[in-house]
A and B are shown apart, each in its own frame.
Chain A
């Protein structure tokens, strides 16, 4: 059975304090790894797709990387507006399997 696990479940950072979120996956035949951001009461917002080990993608203060077993979302010098839940999802077969998410809180 495909599994996606995110850690930590919650993370509190001071503004400017860089950190990384982890997404570990066990799927048969990974076809893509997706990262989303979700604000309270809203639908997830697409951030990145990674297709192969070694691939990296960046957007503002966020950088996503992928290995054969896990993906990391690195947040550099975060700001309070980066506070949200970050979800990763693995695409295998004909569906996406989502992790439980990491709730990020950035304090000024």
Chain B
């Protein structure tokens, strides 16, 4: 079975721009979660989608949003980028057990 894939792997953006990241889950997995990982804050939960509905949301500002498509693929969007948004963004998929399998991540650098 193919693992979780994320695109792009690396991204450099300028403050004020917006960015869209993509995640393709493991086949058959209907839940997709997004996390932000930084050296100072560790892994922080952004949101989770299950069958195209946002099931849970972390404590991030409204600039962070996401969606899930009928084939379970998911995207997250960050608008009006700030320097502090520089991080590794991780996507994880699972069946309905919360045993999550992570992708390789997208490294976002905001300059």
Interface residues in chain A, defined as those with a beta carbon under 8 Å from any beta carbon in chain B: 31-32, 34, 36, 41-46, 49, 87, 89, 91, 93-101
Contacts and interface: CB of A to CB of B under 8 A. Distances in A.
B90 A44 contact: yes
Contact of B102 (A31, A44, A101): A44
Contacts of B105: 41-43
Nearest to B41: A100
B98 A97 contact: no
Given A44-B90, A95-B56, A95-B58, A34 B100 contact: yes
Interface stretch (B42-50, B60-68, B77-85): B42-50
Q: How large is the interface on B (under 10, 10 to 19, 20 to 34, 35 or more residues)?
A: 20 to 34
Nearest to A85: B42
B4 interface: yes
Contacts of A41: 105, 107
B25 interface: no
B15 interface: no
